[in-house]
Amino acid sequence: MEALGAGSVLLTGCDGGLGLGLLKGLLELPTPPRHLFAACLDPQGKVGRVLKGRGGQGVGMSLPCPLTDVTDPNSIRAAVGKVREKVGRAGLNLLINDAGTTRRSTLATETAENMTMVYTTNTIGPLQTSQAFLPLLKEAAEAEGQRGLSCSRAAIVNISSILGSIQAAEAWEERQDVCYRCSKAALNMLTKCLALEYGGSGILCVSVDPGCVTPPLGEGMVIHQGPVTVEESVQGILQLLAQLSADSNGTFWDWRGQSLPW
């Protein structure tokens, strides 16, 4: 497997599920990031135990990040300050926007409250976080010897979902979840916008569907080739990120490394 090679990584949504799995996966890489920032709600909880358990195994600086709320500008600013304090002028190589939420609903039961809450977290959160960390991403992209677009140079990875694909429109009968679908469709458009604006500065921007990560969404449900374990999803995502290049900018992928329709 090709090495990811990102010197510094900020990962949001680390408290559990895929986020915690990605944190473990990054720590277990043959060459882990020198600086790994885990944005989480409870620094003394699961994230703290994982980081403590992995201390001294090739990671220069792994620590909880004060980005407790991706919808709170103050929280984001505090995180930017902490990251800059540690990485200096080397900048931030990789921002993975994984923090997200959902509310189960049907088209008949969907509410403005649900739509607003989910959209604020799943779409506005990644927008605000990406905007705030842009200077640090640019500094990484401009570092001496950096060429082309890659996750090792500078990148924004938005964890999306096949449920946000307008063309695929998968699993409608099993899971309508209008607020979630709309928020991920909007996140995919945000990824395209980021790619158009930031690509010229050497920053790669992509959306990634992690698959229907277990525990399954429902018995017998089949969504885009069925449920996968967190470990399978993480392994696939990290392998994908290591392979992305300039041709991948502004595109949508699944954890298997397959291109997805918008």
Report CA dihedral (150, 92, 187, 102) to the nearest 10 degrees. 120
Rounded CA-CA distance 62/144 in Å is 24
Please tell me the predicted confidence (pLDDT) of residue 59. Answer: 46
pTM of the full structure: 0.90
Over its length of 262 residues, how does the chain's per-residue pLDDT go in tens digits? 467 889 999 999 998 889 999 999 999 999 999 999 998 877 777 787 787 766 544 444 556 676 778 999 999 999 999 999 999 999 999 999 999 998 888 999 999 999 999 999 999 999 999 999 999 999 999 987 778 999 999 999 999 999 999 998 887 877 889 999 999 999 999 999 999 999 999 999 999 999 987 543 333 333 445 688 999 999 999 999 999 999 999 999 999 999 999 9
Helix axes 17-27, 230-243, angle to 10 degrees: 60
Please tell me the predicted confidence (pLDDT) of residue 42. Answer: 74
Please tell me the predicted confidence (pLDDT) of residue 64. Answer: 66
Rounded CA-CA distance 174/183 in Å is 18
202: left (phi over 0), alpha (psi -120 to 50) or beta: left
Residue 133 near residue 92 (C-beta atoms within 8 A): yes
Please tell me the predicted confidence (pLDDT) of residue 141. Answer: 96
- Distances from the Cα of 49 to the Cα of 38, 79, 80, 106, 225, angstroms: 12, 20, 23, 38, 33
Rounded CA-CA distance 187/172 in Å is 19
Please tell me the predicted confidence (pLDDT) of residue 120. Answer: 96
- Residues in the chain, total: 262
Which CATH superfamily is 8-254 part of? NAD(P)-binding Rossmann-like Domain (3.40.50.720)
Please tell me the predicted confidence (pLDDT) of residue 45. Answer: 75
Please tell me the predicted confidence (pLDDT) of residue 57. Answer: 45
Please tell me the predicted confidence (pLDDT) of residue 67. Answer: 79
What are the residue ranges spanned by the domains of the chain?
8-254
What is the dihedral sign for C-alpha 126, 130, 131, 132? positive
Please tell me the predicted confidence (pLDDT) of residue 55. Answer: 54
Q: Which two tokens stand for residue 112?
A: 């403005």
Amino acid, single-letter form, for residue 103:
R
156 alpha-carbon distance from chain centroid? 8
Q: Is the peptide bond before 215 cis (omega within 30 degrees of 0)?
A: yes
- Distances from the Cα of 109 to the Cα of 114, 116, 119, 171, angstroms: 10, 14, 17, 18
CB 90: neighbour CB atoms within 10 A?
Answer: 15
Please tell me the predicted confidence (pLDDT) of residue 219. Answer: 36
Residue 167 near residue 154 (C-beta atoms within 8 A): no
